[in-house]
Amino acid sequence: MIWLTWRQFRSQAAVVFGVLAAIAVVLAVTGPHLVHLYDACKVTHSCNQGSFTHTDNRLQIGLQTLLVVAPALIGIFWGAPLIAREFETGTFRLGWTQSVTRRRWLAVKLGVVGLVSVAVAGLLSLMVTWWSSPIDTANADRFGNAMFGLRDITPMGYAAFAFALGVTTGVLMRRTLPAMASTLVVFVAARLAESVWVRPYLMPPLRHAMAVTGANGIGFSLTPTGLQVIANPPNIPNGWAISSDIVNNAGQAPSAAFFKSACPSIANGIPGPGGGAASLRVKAPGGQPPQAFQDCVAKVAAKYHEVVTYQPASRFWAFQGIETAIFVVLALLLAGLCFWWVRHRLA
Protein backbone atom coordinates (compact mmCIF):
# COMPACT_ATOMS: atom_id res chain seq x y z
CA MET A 1 0.00 0.00 0.00
CA ILE A 2 2.94 2.30 0.73
CA TRP A 3 4.23 1.59 -2.76
CA LEU A 4 0.92 2.49 -4.40
CA THR A 5 0.47 5.65 -2.31
CA TRP A 6 3.98 6.80 -3.12
CA ARG A 7 3.57 5.90 -6.79
CA GLN A 8 0.43 8.04 -7.01
CA PHE A 9 2.01 10.90 -5.10
CA ARG A 10 5.64 10.94 -6.11
CA SER A 11 5.50 13.31 -9.09
CA GLN A 12 3.72 15.98 -7.06
CA ALA A 13 6.14 15.50 -4.19
CA ALA A 14 9.08 15.77 -6.60
CA VAL A 15 7.82 19.12 -7.93
CA VAL A 16 7.39 20.52 -4.44
CA PHE A 17 10.77 19.32 -3.20
CA GLY A 18 12.29 20.82 -6.38
CA VAL A 19 10.73 24.18 -5.52
CA LEU A 20 12.00 23.88 -1.95
CA ALA A 21 15.50 23.16 -3.22
CA ALA A 22 15.38 26.22 -5.47
CA ILE A 23 14.27 28.38 -2.55
CA ALA A 24 17.03 26.90 -0.40
CA VAL A 25 19.63 27.97 -2.99
CA VAL A 26 18.28 31.53 -3.13
CA LEU A 27 18.26 31.79 0.66
CA ALA A 28 21.71 30.25 1.05
CA VAL A 29 23.08 32.84 -1.37
CA THR A 30 21.36 35.86 0.20
CA GLY A 31 21.41 34.82 3.87
CA PRO A 32 25.03 35.67 4.79
CA HIS A 33 24.56 39.20 3.48
CA LEU A 34 21.75 39.77 6.02
CA VAL A 35 23.97 38.64 8.87
CA HIS A 36 26.59 41.08 7.68
CA LEU A 37 24.12 43.98 7.64
CA TYR A 38 22.90 43.09 11.09
CA ASP A 39 26.42 42.95 12.51
CA ALA A 40 27.04 46.41 11.07
CA CYS A 41 23.97 48.05 12.61
CA LYS A 42 24.39 46.26 15.94
CA VAL A 43 27.54 48.27 16.65
CA THR A 44 25.52 51.47 16.75
CA HIS A 45 22.40 49.87 18.29
CA SER A 46 20.40 51.20 15.36
CA CYS A 47 19.01 47.94 13.96
CA ASN A 48 15.49 48.08 12.54
CA GLN A 49 13.65 47.13 9.38
CA GLY A 50 15.51 49.90 7.54
CA SER A 51 18.87 48.36 8.31
CA PHE A 52 18.23 45.92 5.49
CA THR A 53 17.90 46.57 1.80
CA HIS A 54 14.64 47.01 -0.03
CA THR A 55 15.27 43.72 -1.86
CA ASP A 56 15.79 41.88 1.41
CA ASN A 57 12.51 43.16 2.79
CA ARG A 58 10.70 42.31 -0.42
CA LEU A 59 12.15 38.81 -0.41
CA GLN A 60 11.05 38.40 3.19
CA ILE A 61 7.50 39.43 2.33
CA GLY A 62 7.55 36.92 -0.53
CA LEU A 63 8.78 34.12 1.73
CA GLN A 64 6.20 34.90 4.38
CA THR A 65 3.43 34.96 1.80
CA LEU A 66 4.59 31.56 0.61
CA LEU A 67 4.61 30.25 4.16
CA VAL A 68 1.13 31.66 4.82
CA VAL A 69 -0.37 29.96 1.78
CA ALA A 70 1.69 26.73 1.87
CA PRO A 71 -0.53 24.90 4.42
CA ALA A 72 -3.66 25.98 2.54
CA LEU A 73 -2.18 24.73 -0.74
CA ILE A 74 -1.26 21.44 0.91
CA GLY A 75 -4.81 21.04 2.17
CA ILE A 76 -6.33 21.96 -1.18
CA PHE A 77 -4.07 20.07 -3.57
CA TRP A 78 -2.87 17.14 -1.50
CA GLY A 79 -5.57 16.70 1.14
CA ALA A 80 -8.85 17.25 -0.67
CA PRO A 81 -8.19 15.06 -3.75
CA LEU A 82 -6.54 12.23 -1.79
CA ILE A 83 -9.78 10.29 -1.24
CA ALA A 84 -12.27 12.38 -3.23
CA ARG A 85 -10.45 11.64 -6.50
CA GLU A 86 -10.66 7.90 -5.77
CA PHE A 87 -14.41 8.27 -5.48
CA GLU A 88 -14.74 10.36 -8.60
CA THR A 89 -12.80 7.90 -10.75
CA GLY A 90 -14.17 4.80 -9.02
CA THR A 91 -10.66 3.53 -8.24
CA PHE A 92 -11.57 3.12 -4.57
CA ARG A 93 -13.36 -0.06 -5.74
CA LEU A 94 -10.05 -1.30 -7.07
CA GLY A 95 -8.16 -0.38 -3.90
CA TRP A 96 -10.72 -1.70 -1.46
CA THR A 97 -10.91 -5.11 -3.13
CA GLN A 98 -7.19 -5.91 -2.99
CA SER A 99 -5.92 -7.93 -0.02
CA VAL A 100 -5.71 -4.77 2.09
CA THR A 101 -8.28 -3.65 4.61
CA ARG A 102 -9.90 -0.29 4.18
CA ARG A 103 -8.44 0.85 7.47
CA ARG A 104 -4.91 0.13 6.28
CA TRP A 105 -5.61 1.70 2.90
CA LEU A 106 -6.62 4.95 4.59
CA ALA A 107 -3.91 4.78 7.27
CA VAL A 108 -1.14 4.51 4.69
CA LYS A 109 -2.54 7.26 2.49
CA LEU A 110 -2.97 9.59 5.47
CA GLY A 111 0.39 8.65 6.92
CA VAL A 112 2.56 8.95 3.82
CA VAL A 113 1.05 12.09 2.30
CA GLY A 114 0.46 13.65 5.73
CA LEU A 115 4.07 13.19 6.80
CA VAL A 116 5.35 14.62 3.53
CA SER A 117 3.01 17.60 4.00
CA VAL A 118 4.33 18.27 7.50
CA ALA A 119 7.91 17.81 6.29
CA VAL A 120 7.42 20.32 3.47
CA ALA A 121 5.98 22.93 5.84
CA GLY A 122 8.71 22.20 8.39
CA LEU A 123 11.53 22.56 5.86
CA LEU A 124 10.11 25.76 4.44
CA SER A 125 9.67 27.20 7.92
CA LEU A 126 13.19 26.14 8.91
CA MET A 127 14.66 27.91 5.89
CA VAL A 128 12.62 31.07 6.43
CA THR A 129 13.39 31.10 10.16
CA TRP A 130 17.11 30.76 9.53
CA TRP A 131 17.22 33.31 6.73
CA SER A 132 15.06 35.88 8.53
CA SER A 133 16.76 35.66 11.91
CA PRO A 134 18.85 38.87 11.50
CA ILE A 135 15.74 40.80 10.43
CA ASP A 136 13.66 39.19 13.16
CA THR A 137 16.22 40.04 15.81
CA ALA A 138 16.22 43.63 14.62
CA ASN A 139 12.42 43.84 14.64
CA ALA A 140 12.11 42.21 18.10
CA ASP A 141 8.49 41.25 17.51
CA ARG A 142 8.39 37.46 17.73
CA PHE A 143 4.70 37.36 18.66
CA GLY A 144 3.77 39.60 15.73
CA ASN A 145 1.22 38.37 13.21
CA ALA A 146 3.78 38.29 10.42
CA MET A 147 6.10 36.22 12.57
CA PHE A 148 4.59 33.92 15.16
CA GLY A 149 2.74 31.68 12.70
CA LEU A 150 5.47 31.89 10.08
CA ARG A 151 8.51 30.74 12.02
CA ASP A 152 9.74 27.68 13.85
CA ILE A 153 7.24 24.88 14.42
CA THR A 154 3.76 26.40 14.00
CA PRO A 155 3.67 25.99 10.18
CA MET A 156 3.94 22.22 10.67
CA GLY A 157 0.84 22.27 12.87
CA TYR A 158 -1.06 24.30 10.28
CA ALA A 159 0.05 21.96 7.49
CA ALA A 160 -1.05 18.86 9.42
CA PHE A 161 -4.42 20.47 10.13
CA ALA A 162 -4.93 21.71 6.56
CA PHE A 163 -4.05 18.31 5.14
CA ALA A 164 -6.38 16.44 7.49
CA LEU A 165 -9.09 19.01 6.80
CA GLY A 166 -8.71 18.50 3.04
CA VAL A 167 -8.89 14.73 3.36
CA THR A 168 -11.94 14.97 5.62
CA THR A 169 -13.88 17.28 3.32
CA GLY A 170 -12.96 14.96 0.45
CA VAL A 171 -14.23 11.94 2.37
CA LEU A 172 -17.45 13.71 3.36
CA MET A 173 -18.17 15.26 -0.04
CA ARG A 174 -16.65 12.64 -2.36
CA ARG A 175 -16.12 15.38 -4.93
CA THR A 176 -12.75 17.01 -5.47
CA LEU A 177 -13.65 20.56 -6.42
CA PRO A 178 -16.21 21.27 -3.68
CA ALA A 179 -13.83 19.65 -1.20
CA MET A 180 -10.99 21.92 -2.32
CA ALA A 181 -13.16 25.02 -2.00
CA SER A 182 -14.48 24.15 1.43
CA THR A 183 -11.00 23.24 2.62
CA LEU A 184 -9.82 26.75 1.76
CA VAL A 185 -12.77 28.44 3.45
CA VAL A 186 -12.66 26.37 6.64
CA PHE A 187 -8.88 26.57 6.92
CA VAL A 188 -8.75 30.36 6.59
CA ALA A 189 -11.64 30.71 9.06
CA ALA A 190 -9.98 28.39 11.57
CA ARG A 191 -6.62 30.17 11.35
CA LEU A 192 -8.18 33.62 11.76
CA ALA A 193 -10.49 32.56 14.57
CA GLU A 194 -7.65 30.91 16.44
CA SER A 195 -5.30 33.87 16.14
CA VAL A 196 -7.94 36.38 17.27
CA TRP A 197 -9.91 34.51 19.91
CA VAL A 198 -7.69 31.71 21.19
CA ARG A 199 -4.01 32.52 20.88
CA PRO A 200 -3.95 35.62 23.15
CA TYR A 201 -5.35 33.54 26.01
CA LEU A 202 -3.36 30.33 25.63
CA MET A 203 -1.77 31.34 28.91
CA PRO A 204 -3.22 33.95 31.31
CA PRO A 205 -1.54 37.28 30.35
CA LEU A 206 0.68 39.05 32.87
CA ARG A 207 -0.46 42.43 34.27
CA HIS A 208 1.67 45.47 34.68
CA ALA A 209 0.51 48.76 36.21
CA MET A 210 2.32 51.98 35.42
CA ALA A 211 1.89 55.72 35.58
CA VAL A 212 0.16 57.51 32.71
CA THR A 213 2.93 59.42 30.95
CA GLY A 214 1.87 59.54 27.37
CA ALA A 215 5.37 58.38 26.47
CA ASN A 216 4.08 55.59 24.23
CA GLY A 217 1.39 57.72 22.69
CA ILE A 218 -1.91 58.69 24.22
CA GLY A 219 -5.06 60.14 22.75
CA PHE A 220 -8.66 61.04 23.30
CA SER A 221 -11.50 59.96 21.21
CA LEU A 222 -14.97 61.46 21.13
CA THR A 223 -17.60 58.78 21.10
CA PRO A 224 -21.40 59.05 21.38
CA THR A 225 -21.08 58.19 25.09
CA GLY A 226 -18.48 60.87 25.77
CA LEU A 227 -14.75 61.23 25.76
CA GLN A 228 -12.51 58.19 25.98
CA VAL A 229 -8.83 58.05 26.63
CA ILE A 230 -6.71 55.61 24.72
CA ALA A 231 -3.14 54.75 25.62
CA ASN A 232 -0.79 52.82 23.42
CA PRO A 233 0.84 49.92 25.25
CA PRO A 234 4.56 50.20 25.86
CA ASN A 235 6.91 48.46 23.47
CA ILE A 236 7.88 45.11 24.98
CA PRO A 237 10.76 43.66 22.93
CA ASN A 238 9.68 40.27 21.56
CA GLY A 239 6.70 40.31 23.91
CA TRP A 240 3.04 40.65 23.09
CA ALA A 241 0.94 43.48 24.56
CA ILE A 242 -2.66 42.33 24.66
CA SER A 243 -4.46 45.28 26.22
CA SER A 244 -3.75 48.64 27.74
CA ASP A 245 -6.35 50.42 29.86
CA ILE A 246 -6.36 53.64 31.87
CA VAL A 247 -8.18 53.00 35.15
CA ASN A 248 -8.31 54.21 38.77
CA ASN A 249 -7.58 52.06 41.80
CA ALA A 250 -11.07 50.64 41.64
CA GLY A 251 -10.48 49.57 38.06
CA GLN A 252 -12.85 52.15 36.56
CA ALA A 253 -12.13 54.13 33.41
CA PRO A 254 -12.41 57.95 33.61
CA SER A 255 -16.06 58.98 33.54
CA ALA A 256 -17.70 61.55 31.32
CA ALA A 257 -18.20 63.77 34.38
CA PHE A 258 -14.47 63.63 35.14
CA PHE A 259 -13.60 64.77 31.65
CA LYS A 260 -16.18 67.57 31.71
CA SER A 261 -14.55 69.08 34.79
CA ALA A 262 -10.92 68.19 34.07
CA CYS A 263 -10.70 68.77 30.33
CA PRO A 264 -13.64 70.99 29.35
CA SER A 265 -12.18 72.14 26.05
CA ILE A 266 -11.51 68.63 24.82
CA ALA A 267 -14.68 67.14 26.22
CA ASN A 268 -16.78 69.77 24.46
CA GLY A 269 -15.24 68.85 21.19
CA ILE A 270 -12.52 70.46 19.17
CA PRO A 271 -13.46 71.40 15.64
CA GLY A 272 -11.64 69.19 13.18
CA PRO A 273 -10.66 70.12 9.64
CA GLY A 274 -14.10 69.20 8.37
CA GLY A 275 -15.90 71.29 11.00
CA GLY A 276 -17.11 68.30 13.05
CA ALA A 277 -15.64 67.05 16.27
CA ALA A 278 -12.22 65.56 15.73
CA SER A 279 -10.67 62.77 17.64
CA LEU A 280 -7.26 63.73 18.85
CA ARG A 281 -4.44 61.33 18.82
CA VAL A 282 -1.01 62.57 19.33
CA LYS A 283 1.89 60.24 19.38
CA ALA A 284 5.00 60.90 21.35
CA PRO A 285 7.55 61.91 20.34
CA GLY A 286 5.76 63.61 17.46
CA GLY A 287 5.17 67.33 17.24
CA GLN A 288 4.35 69.27 20.39
CA PRO A 289 0.71 68.61 21.35
CA PRO A 290 -1.62 71.53 22.18
CA GLN A 291 -1.51 72.89 25.72
CA ALA A 292 -5.09 71.77 26.49
CA PHE A 293 -4.15 68.24 25.54
CA GLN A 294 -1.09 68.21 27.78
CA ASP A 295 -3.11 69.62 30.68
CA CYS A 296 -5.70 66.94 30.26
CA VAL A 297 -3.10 64.15 30.21
CA ALA A 298 -1.60 65.55 33.40
CA LYS A 299 -5.00 65.60 35.11
CA VAL A 300 -5.72 62.04 34.02
CA ALA A 301 -2.29 60.94 35.21
CA ALA A 302 -2.93 62.44 38.65
CA LYS A 303 -5.94 60.24 39.34
CA TYR A 304 -5.48 57.22 37.06
CA HIS A 305 -2.86 54.70 36.05
CA GLU A 306 -2.28 52.48 33.03
CA VAL A 307 -2.73 48.72 33.27
CA VAL A 308 -1.08 46.66 30.57
CA THR A 309 -1.69 42.95 30.03
CA TYR A 310 0.90 41.11 27.98
CA GLN A 311 2.61 37.85 27.15
CA PRO A 312 6.31 38.09 27.94
CA ALA A 313 9.01 37.15 25.45
CA SER A 314 9.97 34.19 27.62
CA ARG A 315 6.69 32.47 26.71
CA PHE A 316 7.47 32.34 23.00
CA TRP A 317 8.34 28.65 22.88
CA ALA A 318 5.49 27.68 25.17
CA PHE A 319 3.12 29.47 22.81
CA GLN A 320 4.71 27.86 19.76
CA GLY A 321 4.30 24.46 21.38
CA ILE A 322 0.68 24.96 22.46
CA GLU A 323 -0.33 26.50 19.13
CA THR A 324 1.22 23.64 17.18
CA ALA A 325 -0.29 21.06 19.52
CA ILE A 326 -3.78 22.55 19.07
CA PHE A 327 -3.60 22.17 15.30
CA VAL A 328 -2.01 18.73 15.46
CA VAL A 329 -4.77 17.54 17.81
CA LEU A 330 -7.40 18.98 15.46
CA ALA A 331 -5.69 17.12 12.60
CA LEU A 332 -5.76 13.86 14.56
CA LEU A 333 -9.44 14.32 15.40
CA LEU A 334 -10.22 14.89 11.72
CA ALA A 335 -8.20 11.80 10.81
CA GLY A 336 -10.23 9.83 13.34
CA LEU A 337 -13.42 11.12 11.73
CA CYS A 338 -12.11 9.96 8.33
CA PHE A 339 -11.50 6.45 9.65
CA TRP A 340 -14.93 6.28 11.21
CA TRP A 341 -16.63 7.65 8.12
CA VAL A 342 -14.82 5.36 5.68
CA ARG A 343 -15.62 2.37 7.85
CA HIS A 344 -19.22 3.07 8.75
CA ARG A 345 -20.72 5.61 6.39
CA LEU A 346 -19.17 4.77 3.04
CA ALA A 347 -20.48 1.24 3.09
User: What's the CA gap between 95 and 89, in Å, rounded?
Assistant: 12
Q: How far is the CB of 10 from other proteins (least distance, A)?
A: 11
Q: How far is the CB of 123 from other proteins (least distance, A)?
A: 26
The residues that touch other proteins, with contacts defined as CB under 8 A, are 1-4, 7-8, 89-91, 93-102, 104, 347
> Shortest Cβ distance from residue 105 to other proteins (Å)?
9
Which string of DSSP letters, residue by residue, matches 85-129? Answer: HHHHHSTHHHHTTSSS-HHHHHHHHHHHHHHHHHHHHHHHHHHHH
The residue (of 88 and 245) whose beta carbon lies closer to other proteins is 88
Which residue, 8 or 216, is less far from other proteins as judged by CB?
Answer: 8
Identify the DSSP state of 257.
Answer: H
CA 263 to chain centre: 40
Q: Which is nearer to other proteins, 9 or 202 (CB)?
A: 9
**Between 99 and 249, whose beta carbon lies closer to other proteins?**
99
Q: Are 259 and 227 in contact (CB under 8 A)?
A: yes
Count the Cβ atoms, other than its own, within 10 Å of residue 54: 8
Q: ∠229-232-237 over CA atoms, to 5°? A: 165
Beta carbon of residue 181, minimum distance to other proteins (angstroms, whole number)? 23
CB of residue 175 to other proteins, shortest distance in Å: 16
Minimum CB distance to other proteins smaller for 102 or for 281: 102
